[in-house]
């Protein structure tokens, strides 16, 4: 089990590095767009597209990291009102709903790759598969992380 945790931690570290790179690309692309538009009087269209595509990747990779750390936005009133097994049941239900959503997102993401296979982005002329492939990638990572988060809770319930 230790090697699985090491592998997951490595994937999380790589994901965080990717997120830093993506947000840097977004900031630089938008900065370049603003400078060229207001200093030189003409913007460069591909910079907006690059920033938008980087944002899409950032969202799905970031969502998977948040699934691993269990830091997603959620209603926490049950967390403050309940304790012990009742809280564990609510957290498990929450994770199972999120798991179902991520499994559906895997299927939808894979299907979307077929739909956009022949499309290219208007300004960068980049195949749209490169943009859409993050949907199933992020959903698979999210699914794995949710399952990992569910397993210890299950064994803790059996031991406690």
Encode pLDDT of 56-96 as tens digits: 999 999 999 999 998 888 878 878 888 889 888 988 999 99
Which pTM does this prediction carry?
0.86
Question: Tokens 């907006």 belong to which residue?
Answer: 48
How far apart, in Å, are the Cα atoms of 75 and each of 28, 71, 90?
Answer: 35, 11, 11
pLDDT-based confidence at residue 154 (cuts at 50, 70, 90):
very low
CB atoms within 10 A of CB 145: 26
Of 47, 55, 52, the residue nearest 22 (C-alpha): 55
Q: Which helix (H) or strand (E) holds 73?
A: none
Mean residue pLDDT of the chain comes to 91
CA-to-CA dists, residue 147 to 91, 112, 121, 153, angstroms: 13, 24, 35, 10
């Amino acid at each position: 089990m230790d090697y699985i945790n090491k592998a997951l931690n490595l994937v999380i570290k790589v994901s965080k590095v990717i997120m830093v790179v993506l947000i840097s690309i977004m900031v630089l692309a938008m900065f370049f767009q603003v400078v060229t538009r207001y200093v030189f009087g003409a913007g460069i269209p591909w910079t907006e597209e690059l920033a938008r595509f980087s944002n899409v990747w950032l969202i799905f990779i970031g969502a998977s990291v948040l699934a691993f750390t269990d830091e997603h936005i959620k209603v926490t009133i049950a967390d403050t009102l309940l304790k012990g097994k009742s809280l564990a049941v609510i957290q498990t239900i929450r994770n199972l709903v999120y798991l179902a959503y991520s499994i559906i997102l895997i299927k939808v993401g894979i299907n979307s790759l077929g739909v956009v296979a022949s499309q290219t982005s208007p300004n960068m002329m980049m195949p749209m598969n490169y943009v859409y492939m993050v949907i199933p990638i992020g959903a698979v990572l999210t699914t794995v992380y949710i399952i990992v988060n569910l397993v210890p809770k299950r064994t803790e319930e059996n031991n406690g």
